[in-house]
């Protein structure tokens, strides 16, 4: 690699963490975000990098366009992505960093309800301070139109209930209490750690199963999950407090939690099939 190309590679690696954060908030999947950033790297190789005066801005624009195309494709095909997860052991130092990002992770639930244009405008402007003229160019619309998209997205985000970010220690306590109550078959203790409006989702089966309400969720957990609870151990799953069931290297199920008002407000169970 020439000196110039080596310098470009070093600059790209400096930009990579920010690009992955942009792509993750756009796509809601770490794997898809990494793919989007890799595509930006490939496009940079094909471009005249020496002619790029603002590499960070150029790369942000490329990643945003790749993500926008991906979101539009998902929407047109009404696609649902296969469940995927990134697991970090409970005693891994990286856990603190991942959990610290849980505000963005909770927000992803709301961002999924936005149109691709609204999501791009909101993420780039409100979360990464990209000017509306640049956002408009990506969307092939005027800066004012981009501003309106961000404004609509902002209203929808503000109008949605947002899970709070509990301290890491409190999140661990809630997961531990959930697992302990599940292992003991203690209905009252399980209800005590669940938010009254908790949502329990099982993903990876033929159709997603959803149960709502603390008592209904507690009954569902004790009826079908208590026998698996002894095999579960705390972990960080896609940046959320969670647990793995079975071999950590190849678990047959993974659980991720969201916290609201000091209780567990969402439980997502991902099943590994096959």
Q: For position 242, what pLDDT does the model report?
A: 82
Spatial separation of the C-alpha atoms in residues 85 and 235, rounded to whole Å: 11
Question: What confidence score (pLDDT) does residue 207 get?
Answer: 55
Q: What is the CA radius of gyration of the chain?
A: 21
Q: Which residue has the tokens 């109550």?
A: 181
Residue 49's nearest CA partner among 62, 65, 36, 68 is 62
Model pLDDT, residue 170: 79
pLDDT of residue 160: 57
| Domain boundaries 3-158, corresponding CATH code | 1.20.140.160
Which pLDDT score, from 0 to 100, does residue 108 have?
Answer: 64
Does the predicted TM-score (pTM) go above 0.95?
no
pLDDT of residue 224: 78
pLDDT at 83: 44
Whole-angstrom CA distances from 187 to 27, 33, 215, 222, 255 are 37, 39, 8, 7, 19
pLDDT of residue 80: 47
- What pLDDT is recorded for position 217? 95
pLDDT of residue 204: 64
List, for residues 22-70, the tens digit of each pLDDT value: 998 888 877 888 999 999 999 988 887 667 778 889 999 999 999 999 9
CB 88 within 8 A of CB 243: no
* 194-203 vs 209-212, strand pairing mode: antiparallel
Listed as own residue / partner, the contacts of 92-98 with beta carbons closer than 8 Å and 24 or more positions apart are: 92/236, 94/236, 95/168, 95/236, 96/168, 98/236, 98/239
Q: What is the pLDDT of residue 100?
A: 41
d(CA 62, CA 72): 15
Q: Which regions in the chain score pLDDT beneath 70? A: 1-6, 49-50, 78-109, 159-168, 204-208, 238-239, 248-249, 272-274
Among the listed residues 197, 272, 237, the one whose alpha carbon sits nearest the alpha carbon of residue 105: 237
| Domain-wise residue ranges, the chain | 3-158, 168-271
Q: Cβ contacts of residue 225 below 8 Å, gap of 6+?
A: 182, 269
CATH assignment of 168-271? 3.10.450.50
**pLDDT at 65 (0 to 100):** 96
């Amino acid at each position: 690699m020439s000196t110039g190309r080596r310098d470009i590679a070093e600059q790209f690696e400096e930009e990579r963490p920010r690009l992955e954060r942009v792509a993750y908030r756009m796509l809601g999947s770490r794997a898809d975000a990494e793919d989007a950033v890799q595509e930006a790297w490939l496009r940079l190789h094909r471009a005249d990098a020496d002619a790029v005066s603002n590499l960070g801005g150029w790369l942000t624009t490329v990643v945003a366009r790749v993500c926008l195309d991906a979101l539009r494709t998902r929407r047109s095909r009404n696609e649902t992505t296969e469940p995927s997860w990134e697991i970090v052991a409970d005693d891994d130092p990286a856990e603190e960093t991942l959990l610290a990002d849980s505000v963005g992770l909770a927000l992803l639930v709301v961002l999924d309800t936005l149109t691709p244009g609204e999501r791009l405008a909101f993420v780039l402007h409100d979360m990464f301070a990209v000017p509306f003229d640049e956002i408009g160019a990506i969307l092939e619309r005027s800066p004012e139109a981009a501003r309106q998209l961000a404004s609509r997205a902002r209203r929808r985000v503000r109008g949605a209930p947002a899970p709070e970010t509990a301290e890491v220690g409190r999140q661990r306590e809630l997961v531990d209490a959930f697992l302990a109550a599940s292992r003991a078959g203690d209905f009252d203790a399980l209800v005590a750690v669940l938010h009254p409006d908790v949502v329990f989702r099982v993903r990876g089966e033929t159709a997603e199963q959803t149960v709502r309400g603390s008592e209904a969720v507690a009954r569902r957990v004790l009826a079908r999950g208590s026998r698996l609870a002894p095999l579960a151990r705390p972990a960080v799953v896609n940046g959320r407090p969670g647990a793995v069931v079975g071999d950590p290297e190849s678990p047959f199920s993974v659980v991720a939690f969201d916290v609201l008002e000091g209780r567990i407000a969402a439980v997502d169970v991902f099943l590994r099939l096959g």
